[in-house]
């Protein structure tokens, strides 16, 4: 079981005199749990997601974002050494954060022509696995391996571009099977995966792709920012079904960022948090989301004001 632990996180816009946006965010999400992060526009929800992801527009000025791991988080055979169980994501590159099992939204490579969804997903999965192996490789092994590269006498890499999968990589055939399994779980149409990335997915299809990518990468924790925005009710139900499957089938913990209560009718949260002015102002169970639906956010602000 993995735990994402955000404590006293402070961040500002990364420019001269940049505005402070996060003013001490505390939040803990375990694998298998669904947390809803709600709050009015401009309260800092997306900034929280982007800071977890390592977005360069923000500078972290205090606090920590830790991931705690244990054996089993990366499958039965993957042992996690005692000194590599806790990582501060803030010290890592975005792709390293992903490799440790934190999924931070769909990366849309708009520039790539003629690449199908299926090829893109397989590449993303292999890149993640390779990055993870590097993070957990012990240093002696790494050194031995670096002497054993495919270089010719002049130092050019002679590895074939295509061909059989490298050691530890998911082959085309293995990937086809994995994809089929996941698409069945998500109740997605098979034609989806064979479409080209630049084929102009609709807003709703992009959201479904985001869920599919999370299903393929099998993260311990997925941060989904407004995945419900702009969806009609049918698409909302499809996407919700997918999110529930992430939790139920692979034990992914979900941090579901949303302005509206609507999606929480389909993806029932275990915990609900309200963000105000760059802090978590209130936390509770599903009943908190219902109260927000009925009464809006003003009473939370009044509560906080009275307590201060
Ligand atoms: P939410 O997702 O809760 O609506 P955001 O995290 O997007 O809120 O934004 C919080 C506040 O920070 C807003 O006032 C927004 O204008 C400001 N903000 C966010 N990102 C930037 C940025 N890159 N540059 C300047 N201001 C920003
Ligand atoms: Mg937002
Ligand atoms: Mg850094």
pLDDT tens digit string along 195-243?
887 677 888 888 888 999 999 999 999 999 999 998 999 999 999 999 9
| CATH for 300 | 3.40.50.300
Taking only the tens place, the pLDDT of each residue in 146-168 is 555 555 666 555 554 444 566 67
Tell whether 148 is covered by a domain: no
Mean pLDDT computed over 91-117: 82
- Whole-model pTM: value is 0.90
Nearest ligand (C-alpha, residue 90): 3
Beta bridge partners of 34: 254
Euclidean distance between CA atoms 211 and 129, whole angstroms: 19
Compute the half-sphere exposure of residue 139: CA atoms within 13 Å on the CB side of its CA: 1
Name the token pair of 109.
Answer: 């490579």
Residue 5 Ramachandran class (φ > 0 left, ψ -120 to 50 alpha, else beta): beta
Give ligand 1 pocket residues (Cβ under 6 A).
Answer: 13, 19, 21, 39, 41-47, 57
CA 89 to ligand 3 centroid distance, Å = 8
User: What residue owns the CA closest to ligand 1's atom 26?
Assistant: 13
Q: How big is the chain by its Cα radius of gyration, in Å?
A: 21
User: Is 224 domain-assigned?
Assistant: yes
* Chain segment 257-297, per-residue pLDDT in tens: 998 889 999 999 999 999 999 999 999 999 999 999 999 99
User: Is residue 35 in some structural domain?
Assistant: yes
Residue nearest to atom 7 of ligand 1 (CA): 46
Contact 131, 99 (CB under 8 A): yes
* Residue 92 belongs to some domain of the structure: yes
* Residue 214 domain flag: no
Cα dihedral angle (12, 13, 15, 19), rounded to 10 degrees? -70
Strand 279-284 and strand 271-276: the pairing is antiparallel
Could you tell me if residue 205 is inside a domain? Answer: no
255 close to 18: Cβ distance less than 8 angstroms: no
Task: Please report the ipTM that was assigned to this predicted complex.
Answer: 0.96
Ion ligand 2 nearby residues (CB, 5 A):
45-46
Mean pLDDT on 91-111: 83
The pLDDT assigned to 4 comes to 98
Among 9, 14, 20, 21, the mutation site with the greatest number of ligand 1 atoms within 8 A of its Cβ is 21
Residue 150: what pLDDT? 59
Instruction: Say if 37 falls within a structural domain.
Output: yes
Flag whether 7 is in a domain: yes
- Minimal CA–CA distance to 120: which of 131, 133, 106? 106
pLDDT digits (tens, 9 = 90+) for 163-206: 456 667 899 999 999 999 999 988 888 888 888 876 778 888 88
Q: Give the percent of the chain with pLDDT over 90.
A: 69
261 conformational bin, left if phi > 0, alpha if psi -120 to 50, beta if neither: alpha
For 292, the domain range is: 3-111+220-306
Q: Name the domain count of the chain.
A: 1
Q: In Å, what is the CA distance from 166 to each residue of 35, 76, 132, 138, 176?
A: 38, 21, 15, 20, 17
């Amino acid at each position: 079981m993995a735990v994402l632990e955000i404590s006293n996180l402070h961040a500002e816009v990364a420019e001269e005199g940049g505005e402070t946006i996060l003013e001490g965010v505390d939040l803990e999400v375990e694998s298998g749990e669904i947390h809803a992060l709600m709050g009015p526009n401009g309260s800092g929800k997306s900034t929280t997601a982007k800071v977890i992801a390592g977005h360069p527009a923000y500078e972290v000025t205090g606090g920590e974002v830790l991931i705690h791991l244990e054996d089993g988080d990366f499958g039965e055979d993957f042992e996690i050494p005692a000194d590599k169980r806790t990582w501060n994501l803030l010290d890592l590159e975005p792709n390293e954060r992903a490799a440790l099992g934190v999924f931070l939204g769909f990366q849309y490579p708009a520039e790539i022509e003629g690449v199908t969804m299926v090829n893109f997903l397989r590449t993303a999965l292999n890149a993640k696995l390779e990055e993870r192996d590097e993070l957990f490789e012990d240093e002696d092994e790494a050194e031995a391996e670096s002497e054993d590269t495919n270089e010719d006498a002049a130092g050019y890499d002679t590895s074939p571009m295509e061909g059989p999968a490298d050691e530890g990589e998911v082959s085309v055939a293995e990937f086809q099977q994995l994809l089929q399994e996941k698409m069945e779980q998500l109740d997605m149409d098979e034609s989806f995966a064979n479409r080209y990335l630049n084929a102009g997915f609709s807003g709703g299809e992009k959201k479904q792709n985001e869920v599919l990518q999370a299903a393929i990468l099998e993260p311990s924790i997925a941060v989904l920012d407004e995945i419900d925005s702009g969806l009609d009710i049918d698409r909302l139900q499809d996407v919700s079904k997918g999110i529930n499957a992430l939790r139920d089938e692979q034990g992914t913990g979900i941090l579901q960022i949303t302005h509206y209560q609507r999606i929480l009718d389909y993806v029932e949260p275990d915990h609900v948090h309200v963000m105000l002015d760059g802090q978590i102002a209130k936390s509770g169970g599903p009943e908190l989301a219902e109260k927000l639906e009925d009464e809006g956010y003003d009473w939370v602000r009044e509560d906080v004001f009275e307590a201060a």
